[in-house]
Structure formats: structure tokens, C-alpha cells
Structure 1
Amino acid sequence: MTSPKRVDPSLPRLDDRPESHPELPERSAVRRSFDRAAAEYDEHAVLQREVCDRLLERLDYTTIEPQVILDLASGTGQGAGALFERYRKARVLPMDLSEAMLKQARRRGGWFRRLHPVGADMTALPIADHSVDLVFSSLGLQWVDDLDRVFREVRRVLKPQGLFLFTTFGPDTLKELRAAWSAVDEKSHVNVFTDMHNIGDGLVRAGLAEPVMDVEHFTLTYETTTELMRDIKRIGAHNVTGNRPRGLMGRKKMARFQAAYEDYRHDGRLPATYEVVYGTVWAPALKKT
């Protein structure tokens, strides 16, 4: 396991975080954000498509033949569609908090109507115990306010020796954006992302077995900060933490932010780093009696 920079130790551990902690995503804000972004999401989610494809490739190294697949935070259905094509005999359940994203997924074609979309919160899965062979989740876990609870739910619905395959963002994600805003004020302008080691600890606490995790970094570049922030908003990924600034940003603060971000300009472009955490973990086998 690689060792990326650890998350700010002042933040509570996953199992200590109260639902109202201001650094955590607000569920209602997450739902609204993705509902608004649904129509334009596929047009702008370049990184999300690439990461989903790379996560799907990891199934090439397993021998699993799932009968029931749950795609957590399925969004507009890229992962669900690929899983349907790969495992034609399986029942695929795309699940998302945003009904608008699931509606957008239905526009992919008649094949989606053969799936079984579920509108639900991943912290309370409407799925029977020990009924799923594969839980797949690409870039969705960073939007929940209680990862431990999600991991317990995944453990509950997985069959013995079922597979949980996921990606999420790590704490280096949008580090340039966070640093530029820190030169302006002390408010939360960027979502907080959980360190890989803390994620691994949460998986073990939930009773999942043999977690294998690694990290990959991507850099997108932009001409201006306006272009960057517009891109983030168009995929529903803007700040949804409880202590995010409310109301319009003043011109002076915006000018200071833009000036601070200019320090990162390289070869005429402004970088935006994304740290992607990949995880593979199994439900334990049945204990012999």
C-alpha cells in the first residue's frame, strides 16, 4: 500500500464524525447539486468516465461471476451499462441518491430498462442481507457523510466472499484550489476528502476482509479559474460541506483567489490535481462450524 499525505488530523475519524459536522457533505445539498447537473453531466465528466473505465478493467483480474450487482452512486449509468454488457446473466441494480441522474441514465437506451434502478441513500440500502455478489462504486463515496455506515451496509448486503470494488477521491484532490482559497479566508470552499489509510481502517471496522488499496493522480488543466469552477459545477462536484460560504462572493475576494491560483500556472495553464483512491475488498467467507 502506498503512503500518500495523511488527512488533516484535526478532522474527526470516520467513526467519530457526527452527521452535523461542518466539514462533511450535506446530503440534501449533494442531492440538489447532482439533480441540477444531471442534464450536462455526461458532457463534462471526462475524468469520471476515465476513472470508471479503469475501475472496470480491474474486474479482468478476478474470476467472479456475479448473479446480482449493485452499482452504488451509479449516476448516469456508465458503470451499470458496462457491468450489464460484461455480465449478461447478472441482475444489475444502479443506485443513486439523485433521481435526476437515474432519469438521465434511462436515456442511454432500451437496455437500461432491463436493469433495476434504485433511488436511495447508500447509508441505508434498501437491499436484503447477503444478496449481492458484487458492489461496484466509482467516485461516489466522497459524497457521503458517514463512510463507516456505508461500509457496514456494503458488508451487510454482500454475500460471503462477495467483492466490493470502488474508487473515491483522496485528500490531494483539488489541492491547488484549496490552497488558493486559503489565501482569502478560513472558510470551507472545497470538499474534504478522506485519506486512504482512514478508508482502509473503516473497511476493516465494518468486517470486510483483505483490503487492497492504491492511489493514482490525474491533472486537468484550464485557461482560467472561471473555466475550472464552471467545470466542477457542471458535474455537480462543487462544495457541499456544511460550513460552505453562503451567498455571492465579493469581487475583492474573488480577485485575491484568482491571484493566488496564478502561482500554480505552468506552461500557460492552471492545474487541478485529483487523487483517486482505488479499493478492492471482500466479504469474509462463512465460518466453518
Structure 2
Amino acid sequence: MGAVTELVNKQAVANAFSRAAKSYENAAQLQRESGEALLALAAEFAAGPAKQVLDAGCGTGYFSRRWRELGHHVTALDLSNGMLEAARLQDSADHYQYGDIEYLPLEDNSVDISFSNLAVQWCNALPRALQELERVTRPGGVVLFSTLATGSLNELSKAWMKVDGRPHVNPFLTPDKVAEACAPYHHHVQFTQRTMLFPDVMSLMHSLKGIGATHLKGGRLGGLGGRQRINLLDKHYVRQQNMLPLSYHLVYGVIYCE
């Protein structure tokens, strides 16, 4: 595979998520919803005897715990030591592993199911992340992933553009690029949209901060800034039913390892 330009400052991403570790469980409503949808796609694979499951980008271990409840052996992996520690404190997994999804510190064919919920959007290259997840998964196993596609956080991006001419939002892959990354494998991909509503800008911004999503590739995501900037953002934000909408274009993927 050719050289990939490292656009993501992984340490900065890890630090942002470590700072969010304490607030994450309360803030991560979208992560819960997408993870449950991903688990539903895995129902036939989750049934039966205990399997080895990798939770790649485990966060505080909510879905590591869900997999254990289903009777499986779980390795919880994350780039953030703060998140791993939070997962450990809640007895989320059988094993805890610091690591990067694009360079998994696991042997080939070492797990039955690789599960990655809303984590691969923090990688430099989706093809590389999927290649690694597929590499560590045994033939007959599955890779289950969710990520975000272009159009996500669009309302926030448009409002920031009106404030200072900068989007303040990470670029996400187009559906075509997601399909291209999955093309080498026997796979199934589906796309859906979820719009969340917030009463004000502060609660919307804190929802992003609470899930650690405050690192911008190529530099920091514009912070809350001064009161004047927040007032401007609020003024330019297009409302829906007197609330502030924030849309997520969700991708759910299943790769069948052969």
C-alpha cells in the first residue's frame, strides 16, 4: 500500500478524548444509537458460543460491556489512555489495549468479530483502517463499523462560515469514497441520517466537547471562544422548530471475512 499522508495528529485526538472521558457516558447519545444499530446488524454473529471480540475505539467501554453481556470475550482498544482507564474502572472488558486502529497491535486472525463504532472517522485513511480490522479477524468472522459521511455537522459548519469564514468542522468522506474503501471485500453498507436538536448553541457545542469531538484535522476545532462569537454563532444558526438542528450522516458497514 502506498504512503499515506498523516493528516491527523493522533496525540491531539487522544488528548481531546482523554479530557472528555468523565463526561462521555452522559454525552454520547449518538454513539449509543449508532452502536445499537451496529449490534443489531451483528445479531446472527453475536449468537451462539463465546467469541473473541475486538472493540476498536472503545471509548469508555459501553459497547465492550454490551458484548460481554452477550457472553463474549472482549479486548477493548483505544488511542486514549483516559478512555481506556474509564473503561477499566467500569470493568468493561477482559483485556485492555492501547493502540491505533490503523496499526493494530494484534496478530493476524486473532479475533472473531472486530467492532468499531464511530471511531474510524479519526483515522487518516479508511482503507487502511478497514485493512487492519480485516487482517486481525479470522476467516468466517466479521468486521462491523460505523462512521460519518459528508454532510455531517453541516448546520454548524454553515453557521461558523457566516461568523468567520471558516467551517470549524472536520471533512467527512463521501458515500462513494466509503464504498471504494469497502470494495475489496465481501461487504454490506447502508447509509442513514440522524438530526439531533438542541435548545441553544452552548448545549450543542458541549455535546461535541462531551464526546471528545473537538479536534480539527490540521489544527484545533474552533473552541467556544468569547461570548461575542457564541452570540454570533447563535444568531447565524438556522433553526428548526425553534431548536438548533445538528445532522449526522451515518454509515454502517459489515465486512465478511473470507
Could you tell me the TM-score, scaled by structure 1's length? 0.81
What amino acid is the match of 1:159? R
Residues in 2 aligned to 1:103 and 1:141: alpha-carbon distance in whole angstroms: 21
CA contact (8 A) 1:135 1:165 kept: yes
Matches within 5 A, 1:84-123: 84-86=68-70, 88=71, 90-109=72-91, 112=92, 115-123=94-102
Q: Which residue matches 1:258? A: 234
Indicate conservation of the 8 Å contact 2:201/2:230, yes or no: no
Cα shift at 1:174 = 0.8
CA distance in 2, matches of 1:245, 1:271: 19
Question: Percent same amino acid at aligned positions?
Answer: 33
| Paired letter, 2:58 | S
Residue type at the aligned position of 2:122: W
The offset of 1:246, in angstroms, is 6.8
Once residues 148 and 171 of structure 2 are traced to their aligned partners in structure 1, the CA distance between those partners, rounded to angstroms, is: 9
Cα 1:126–1:250, aligned 2, differ >3 Å: closer, same or farther? same
- Write the mapping of 1:1-289 to structure 2, written as runs, cut at 5 A: 18-20=5-7, 25-62=8-45, 67-86=51-70, 88=71, 90-109=72-91, 112=92, 115-204=94-183, 207=184, 209-244=185-220, 249=225, 253-261=229-237, 264-284=238-258
1:249, distance to aligned residue in structure 2 (A): 3.9
- Partner letter of residue 93 of structure 1? T
Per the alignment, in what secondary structure is the counterpart of residue 126 of structure 1? coil
**Offset at 1:253?**
4.7
Match of 1:11 in 2: none
In 1, the alpha carbon distance for the partners of 2:68 and 2:168 equals 38
CA distance in 2, matches of 1:281, 1:180: 37
Q: TM-score, normalised by structure 2?
A: 0.90
Once the two structures are superposed, residues 144-182 of structure 1 have per-residue CA deviations (whole angstroms, 9 ceiling, x without a partner) of: 122222122112212123201111111121110011112
TM-fit CA distance, 1:200: 2.1
- For the aligned residue pairs, the C-alpha RMSD in angstroms reads 2.4
Most deviating of 171-180 and 236-245? 236-245
Q: Which protein shows a greater Rg? A: 1
Secondary structure at 2:33's aligned position in 1?
Answer: helix
Distance 1:248 1:270 in 2: 16
Distance 1:26 1:276, change over 3 A: same
Query: Does the aligned pair in 1 maintain the 2:214–2:220 contact within 8 Å?
Result: no
Checking the alignment, whether the CA contact within 8 Å between 1:26 and 1:145 is kept in structure 2 is: no
More displaced, 157-166 or 29-38?
Answer: 157-166
Instruction: Give the length in aligned residue pairs.
Output: 257
- Does the residue aligned with 1:55 lie in a helix, a strand or coil? helix
- 1:214 Cα deviation (Å)? 0.9
SS of residue in 2 equivalent to 1:117: strand
